[in-house]
Amino acid sequence: MKKQGNVVRKTKGILILAVVLLLTSGWLLTVYSLAVDKDLQAQTALIQSAEEFLEDKLYIRAVSKYKEALTGYQTERNGEIEKGLLDIYKTGGMWEDYYDLLESRVSGERAGAEEYMILAEHFVEEENPGNGVVYLEQGRRLFPDNEELISI
């Protein structure tokens, strides 16, 4: 009878510990979700502010807001924001920044197949075909089914 009482007490203890762990993990998940939502909202507000600058063709101010949104917050939208920043650089004629960001995306393996092609063409035009070939080969390796990369 004593053994049965010990088994019951141990089982109760394990169950209580499991419930406490589940409740704690639930609270931690809730707190994390709230923090991520706040970051996403703040990042979205910065992008909306940048879009207002873009309407007035104030590219440098828009770039500043986009950069703040990228460096200040790490959310799932960062890739999308980087693409928006590329568009601003291209539209505003900020070519050095444009190619620098492309290279950063490629080195971080966040770039798409088209970005590898753009960099390859850029280096060929800049009379540095060696670097162009390197980017082309990287793109082919990462996107083996992309017909445009293969055909070049």
Which amino acid makes up residue 115?
Answer: E
Say which residue the tokens 């909202």 belong to: 41
Nearest to 36 by CA among 67, 76, 68, 95: 76
**What pLDDT was estimated at residue 34?**
47
User: pLDDT tens, 60-111?
Assistant: 999 999 999 999 888 888 999 999 999 999 999 999 999 999 999 999 989 9
Instruction: Give mean pLDDT, residues 122-127.
Output: 88
